[in-house]
Structure 1
Amino acid sequence: MELTPEQLVAEFQDAVMELYFARKRIALLEAENAELKARLDAAAPAGG
């Protein structure tokens, strides 16, 4: 499929936006994961 230069630019901009939102989601998930790990560690019996 041949794309015009304008279509290529639009596709690139869409990909950049998808990457931006994916990175934001990853950061939120990493923060949630760290919080859950901390809660698990706090709830674990000493000496595990």
Structure 2
Amino acid sequence: MELTPEQLVAEFQDAVMELYFARKRIAHLETENAELKARLTAADASGE
């Protein structure tokens, strides 16, 4: 299946948007992970 130039541009734009939102989600998950690790470390240090 061959795509027209317009279709290729649309596919590229869709891929860029997906990547943008995936990177935002990854950043959010990394922050959440760091917070959970800090809580776990604090809980271990306090003997819980």
Fold similarity call, TM over 0.5? yes
Match of 2:9 in 1: 9
Unaligned runs of 5+ in 2: none
Q: Percent identity between the aligned chains?
A: 87
State the Cα distance separating 1:17 from its structure 2 match.
Answer: 0.1
CA distance in 1, matches of 2:39, 2:14: 38
In 2, Cα distance between equivalents of 1:45 and 1:10 = 52
Alpha-carbon deviations, 1:24-43, whole Å to 9, x = none? 00000000000000000000
Q: Does 1:25 align with 2:25?
A: yes
**TM-score where L is the length of structure 2:** 0.92
Q: TM-score, normalised by structure 1?
A: 0.92
Q: What root-mean-square deviation, in Å, do the aligned CA atoms of Structure 1 and Structure 2 show?
A: 1.1
Runs of 4+, deviation exceeding 4 Å: none
Q: Select the structure that is richer in helix.
A: 2
Q: Which runs of 5+ in 1 are unaligned?
A: none
